[in-house]
Structure 1
Amino acid sequence: MKKLSYFIFALLLLSCSFSDKPLVLKKAEALVDSLPDAALKILEENKSAADGFPTRYRMDYLLLYAMAMNKSYVSMDTVSFMPQVIRYYENHGSTGDLVTANYMMGCVFRDKGDSPMALRYFLNATRLSDVNNSDCDVNELAAIYGQIGYVFYNQRILTKAIEAWHECQKYALLAGDTIRAIQSIEYCGYSYSGLNKLDSAISIAKRVYASYKRIGDDEAAASSLGSLILYCLDTDRLDAAKKYMDDYIMHSGYFDKEGNLQPGHEFFYYYLADYYERLDRLDSAEYFYRRLLCNATNYNSSENGSRGLMRIYSRKGEADSVMKYSNM
């Protein structure tokens, strides 16, 4: 009888160690890629219950929570649990878990504004990834290289940004993610522009626009037109500039019903103002330079709005206004 009791006790321990994954994790895992906001809500509603999970499921919960935050564009700058998660997966779980944990740790430092540490963990994640393993998540790997590209771009290390975005494109294509693949090339174009390699930048911009059009994404195609519009204006190809600007207005999705641009996209007013200035339609140019200045969300918009108005009033011979906007 005593031996039977020990046997039953051992079975109970065994069954506990192999207990089913909590339902909350199953639900959140099923939603995190397609509906990350819903996954995050489920996880937040079950914080207290997660404190009582066995260690492996508690770590799974925390990692999934970080993933849901990142995919929902919730700032991760206050997240403090990721070092604990990484330490756990260094000795338990799969390599894929450790890759994701390093990726999420990089995202925490990204949102804290610590680019060197973010880059360290993003690169750790790529080094841990084995693309020859069938379990390798190439979609996640594409996202990691995309983040590496952003870090290098923001640090103005543009050749490294281009290298990272080419890797992003490669793995996005392997994952069948056409949109991310096109976006990665679009960002390469911005880097070439920053390197003053304008021929490459314009060639890429045309390729990106055509690629979005080919897959029927008119909104993304229109949103990508900034470089082409500016190029056409700078080279006095005004008919082409007007065609692209009309496409942008019609399809970008950045305008509300009253024709106002969303904050952060106000620089399009500069394109309109510059276009009308080149046509010598100074009243229209003045109107859009004023809109640019009134809606400016950064120094670049403020400077270009003021500089444009200074030119307009100079051509109109209004000295007081020229002085005003010159000082601005």
Structure 2
Amino acid sequence: MAYIRLLVCVGILLSLFSCQHTSSYSSYPTTMLRAEQLMDLAPDSAKNLLLRLKDSIPQQSEEVQMYYHLLTVKANDKCYVPHTGDSLMKALVYYYEQHGTPAQRMEAYYYLGSVYRDMHDAPRALNYFLQAVDASEDGKEYQILARTYAQMGTLYMYQKLYDEAMPMHKKAYHYYSLAKDSLLLSYALRDIGRAFTAQHNVDSTLYYYEAGYRAAKQMNDIRRMRAIQNELSGVYLQLGRYKEAREALTQSSAYQSNIASNILIWG
């Protein structure tokens, strides 16, 4: 009899834990969850879905409202909409410091860092990116960690702190690999190549650019292939490998967003 009572108690506890674990997500509007799913592959679509909820969100709970605002900032960031003010993100950071999961706190710190990046305040941006790393509970939030290290590496590059930039980009590649994010691995390799360019190590630059191109080609990611080829053509040019430079540049020219830099390299 005691054994049966024990089984019943364990079952009740497991049920309570399950309810607590899923209650937050079950309270979010379906459209909001769909936007979250689309965020990485189709941020424009995610942004449009979130806009549909704009008028109804004020009637939702504080938890839903805060996560909605976090997703909105995230969608704008992924759509390359510049951040112009820090008020909203500071409120979100304050909220997630008191509530939410470690991953949500990390994202709040990350996007406040992104706000200061766009506002050209590198010291505060780096401070919040570091806080995002420190907020990691077990080092398994691979995607957030990868993006954070990539941003830190880029900021160090802008400040010509090349020795600090290299380990950041290598850590970004490490975490993208752990996350099995094949789409962004190509850019992570390219960023390591850029860091070697700044250190005037042409052989290593070429190795990582070519590896980045192969990674993009393996995924049939035409946009990233062309973007990397555009920079790769400049590396070939430095090495006097003009035939390869011309081939890379010709293929890259098909991607119109690179047209200005293409014209410069052609010249």
TM bracket, shorter-chain basis: 0.7 to 0.9
Q: 1:179 to 1:37 in 2, by over 3 A?
A: closer
Tell me the equivalent position of 2:69. 62
CA distance in 2, matches of 1:109, 1:160: 19
SS where residue 263 of structure 2 aligns? coil
Q: Report the alpha carbon displacement of residue 94 of structure 1 after superposing the two structures with TM.
A: 0.8
Q: Report the alpha carbon displacement of residue 50 of structure 1 after superposing the two structures with TM.
A: 1.5
CA distance in 2, matches of 1:214, 1:39: 26
Tell me the equivalent position of 2:59. 52
CA distance in 2, matches of 1:209, 1:30: 27
CA distance in 2, matches of 1:141, 1:169: 10
Confirm whether residue 113 of structure 1 aligns to residue 117 of structure 2: no
Confirm whether residue 181 of structure 1 aligns to residue 185 of structure 2: yes
Instruction: Normalising by structure 1, report the TM-score.
Output: 0.66
SS where residue 196 of structure 2 aligns? helix
On the 8 A contact 1:152/1:160 being kept in 2, the answer is yes
CA distance in 2, matches of 1:100, 1:209: 29
CA distance in 1, matches of 2:247, 2:262: 15
User: CA offsets per residue over residues 235-278 of structure 1, 9 Å max, x none?
Assistant: xxxxx41233123203553359xxxx6234432222xxxxxxxx
* The 10-residue stretch of structure 1 (202-211 or 22-31) with the greater mean CA deviation from structure 2: 202-211
On the 8 A contact 1:138/1:174 being kept in 2, the answer is yes
Tell me the equivalent position of 2:89. 82
**Structure 1: gaps of 5 or more residues:** 1-16, 234-239, 271-328
**Number of residue pairs the alignment of both structures matches:** 241
Tell me the equivalent position of 1:144. 148
- Which residues in structure 2 correspond to 1:18-33 (within 5 Å)? 20-33=27-40
Tell me the equivalent position of 1:96. 103
On the 8 A contact 1:122/1:144 being kept in 2, the answer is yes
On the 8 A contact 1:131/1:138 being kept in 2, the answer is no
Identify the match of residue 42 of structure 1 among 49, 53, 69. Answer: 49
**Structure 2: gaps of 5 or more residues:** 1-22
Q: Which has the larger radius of gyration?
A: 1
Q: Report the alpha carbon displacement of residue 43 of structure 1 after superposing the two structures with TM.
A: 1.9
Q: Report the alpha carbon displacement of residue 193 of structure 1 after superposing the two structures with TM.
A: 2.0
Q: 1:112 to 1:255 in 2, by over 3 A?
A: closer
Residue type at the aligned position of 1:30: Q
What is the CA RMSD across the aligned residues, in angstroms? Answer: 2.6
User: CA offsets per residue over residues 61-112 of structure 1, 9 Å max, x none?
Assistant: 1111111111111112235211111111111111111001111111111111
CA distance in 2, matches of 1:206, 1:46: 43
Structure with bigger RCO (C-alpha 8 Å, 6+ apart):
2
